[in-house]
């Protein structure tokens, strides 16, 4: 099993949350909602900064 963390082609903004969900085998909606709640409850800025960093660092979706 050679899974690699990458952005998803199923994007809402940059594909970061969907990529994390695919990597972990979780539902994309659950990861997106959890990320939104965590961002709101941490005053927004750290969550936004983390998302921007991940969207830069994570490689694009692999074509299958």
pLDDT in tens, 30-43: 999 999 998 988 88
**Counting beta carbons within 10 angstroms of the beta carbon of residue 29, is it exposed (0 to 12), middle (13 to 18) or buried (19 or more)?**
exposed
Does residue 31 fall inside a structural domain?
yes
Helix, coil or strand: residue 54: helix
Query: What distance, in Å, lies between the first and last C-alpha atoms of the chain?
Result: 15
Does residue 19 fall inside a structural domain?
no
Q: Going by C-beta distance under 8 Å and a sequence separation of 6 or more, which residues neighbour residue 4?
A: 23, 59, 62
Domain extent, residue 49, equals 25-57
Residue-wise pLDDT for 6-61, tens only, equals 999 888 899 999 999 999 999 999 999 999 998 988 887 888 899 999 999 999 98
pTM: 0.85
Q: Which of 60, 57, 64, 55 is nearest to 6 (CA)?
A: 60
Does residue 18 fall inside a structural domain?
no
């Amino acid at each position: 099993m050679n899974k690699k963390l990458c952005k998803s082609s199923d994007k809402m903004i940059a594909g970061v949350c969907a990529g994390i969900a695919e990597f972990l085998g979780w539902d994309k909606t659950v990861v997106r909602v959890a990320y939104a709640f965590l961002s709101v409850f941490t005053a927004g800025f750290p969550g936004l900064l983390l998302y921007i960093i991940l969207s830069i660092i994570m490689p694009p979706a692999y074509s299958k």
